[in-house]
Amino acid sequence: MVNNMDIKGDILCREDILKELRYKEYDPVVYDVTDSTNLVLKRWVKGGRIDNKLVVADRQTMGRGRLGRTFESPPVSGIYMSLLIPAGDDEGILLITSAAAVAVCRAIKEVCHIDTSIKWVNDIYLNDRKVCGILAEAVTAGEGEINVILGIGINVATESSIFSDTVRDVAGALYDTMPGNITRNSLIAAVVNNFMDIYGHITDREYLGDYRRMSMILGRDIRYLKEDAWHTGKAVDIDNDGGLVVKTKDDIITLNTGEISVRLEK
């Protein structure tokens, strides 16, 4: 149960986020409510506004998830944030999603002292419940340069009754009630700091060690949805590009990000 007394002090605040940010170019623009922080950044980039690189909202009315799904974004209890990642080379762009998953887990550990796991490619789980989703979208700006909008949604203290029937069996939160000594502002700053720490040398792939350690599917039997059909196999490795290596009945294949869903077999 979310206790409103507990979360009263946890108001999203630009100055408080900024205080803990080591990457000051990510000076945040904070909204009480918006349609989608990814869409806000997309509109800005298309309109040539690239000076603001971090958008945060207390609530989204059209939170977007992967594969055209909705990301439920109720007020007060979650973090909905999008970062504009400057154009890099193709190799770096390919790695952004897996790097973001590691950055979020590291940030949660640093601020909340909670160990979370990664379900390939970019869902963060705690106690078999999804507590965070990540959506990276490419956007073209200026001279055709590709920038990436990295959207991150974290259920910090979202009460399960707030979720719709569609997601209630899967969605969870880091806390039942927001602890008084932790703020969403600190967690937002920690996510940016951890992501940019990795992004500065992303192509050395050092973070992939943590990705493999934090994976909840390596060594497990899985089902994956590819081209409208479910297949089975065992998840055996994460390759150097963040792809999932799967041993099937008669082959070893690599799944790349994009339009693929993965489920653990019971």
Residues that bind ligand BTN (CB under 6 A): 36-38, 60, 63-66, 69, 71, 80-82, 123, 133-135, 151-153
Structure tokens of 133?
Answer: 């989703």
Q: Kindly state the smallest distance separating residue 217's Cβ from ligand BTN, in Å.
A: 16
Q: Kindly state the smallest distance separating residue 251's Cβ from ligand BTN, in Å.
A: 28
3-state SS of 67-83 is HHCECCCCCCCEEEEEE
| Nearest to ligand BTN of 155, 186 (CB atom) | 155
Q: Kindly state the smallest distance separating residue 151's Cβ from ligand BTN, in Å.
A: 3
| Nearest to ligand BTN of 8, 41 (CB atom) | 41
| Nearest to ligand BTN of 97, 183 (CB atom) | 97
| Nearest to ligand BTN of 5, 170 (CB atom) | 170
CA distance 29 to 14: 7
State how beta strands 221-226 and 145-155 pair. unpaired
Q: Kindly state the smallest distance separating residue 218's Cβ from ligand BTN, in Å.
A: 20
Q: What is the DSSP letter of 64?
A: B
CA distance 199 to 54: 15
Helix (H/G/I), strand (E/B), else coil: 121: coil
Shortest Cβ contact with ligand BTN: which residue?
Answer: 133
Residues 6+ positions from 233 with CB-CB distance below 8 Å: 221, 222, 224, 246, 247, 248, 249, 253
Cβ contact 207:199 at 8 Å: no
| Nearest to ligand BTN of 37, 183 (CB atom) | 37
| Nearest to ligand BTN of 203, 261 (CB atom) | 261
Q: Kindly state the smallest distance separating residue 188's Cβ from ligand BTN, in Å.
A: 11
Cβ contact 203:95 at 8 Å: yes
Q: Kindly state the smallest distance separating residue 50's Cβ from ligand BTN, in Å.
A: 18
